[in-house]
Amino acid sequence: MFRCLCLFLTLVSGSCLANDNFVVQGVNWLTSSLPDSTSVEFNKSRIKFNGCKHREYELALIQPLTSKFAIEGGMTYAKGQLNWGINNQKISLKRFSFLPRYKVSENISVSAGMVLQSAPEFKTSQGFELNLPKSKIYTLSSRFMGSRDAHQLEIELSSHQWEPNGEAGSFFDNGLVDNKFNVSYSAFF
């Protein structure tokens, strides 16, 4: 786990200006230093258009412990910037997930776990800083594989809980909870 954290911190430290070759070398080093059964995936996504930039870096790990039980985890760093003339806004956050998964049968698996999210850092060009709270997401999900491996249906119950931050005038003063029931279908090409 220490190696994973070192790689992740290296990848997202500073302003994340690492070139693609550096990132590929880092992920290759991490993959080679972990057991062969461990699956490592690094994804980066971005969107950019006039006045808007958003980048997200995700490192996902899956470590099978037995033929039916695996540990899924990951780390994410996201940052965004809006530039509207004299109004500029920047936001960034970090997320860590731990989701053990049990395979009930060849086509059905169940997972229960937690996602920890840092307090988003929000700044504006006017010097205004919004004190946003940390949060935790508790999830319980079932995944049903389709007739082909590229299709899956996932049913998830989640509870997203924001910590109270005590800042006057905020709706986060007493904390906030958002409970959800999600159904998603994915087809991979």
pLDDT tens-digit readout, 118-129: 988 888 887 776
> Which regions in the chain score pLDDT beneath 50?
14-18
Which class for 37: exposed (0-12), middle (13-18), buried (19 or more C-beta within 10 A)? Answer: exposed
Predicted pLDDT at 123? 83
Q: Domain-by-domain residue ranges, the chain?
A: 2-187
Phi, psi of 57 (to 5 degrees): -120, 130
With DSSP H G I counted as helix, E B as strand and the rest as coil, what are the percentages for the chain, rounded to 5?
Answer: 15, 60, 30
Q: For the chain, give the percent of residues with pLDDT over 90.
A: 41
Predicted pLDDT at 16? 46
Predicted pLDDT at 159? 94
The pTM of this model reads: 0.75
Sign of the Cα torsion 171, 175, 180, 185 reads positive
Domain topology for 2-187: Porin (2.40.160)
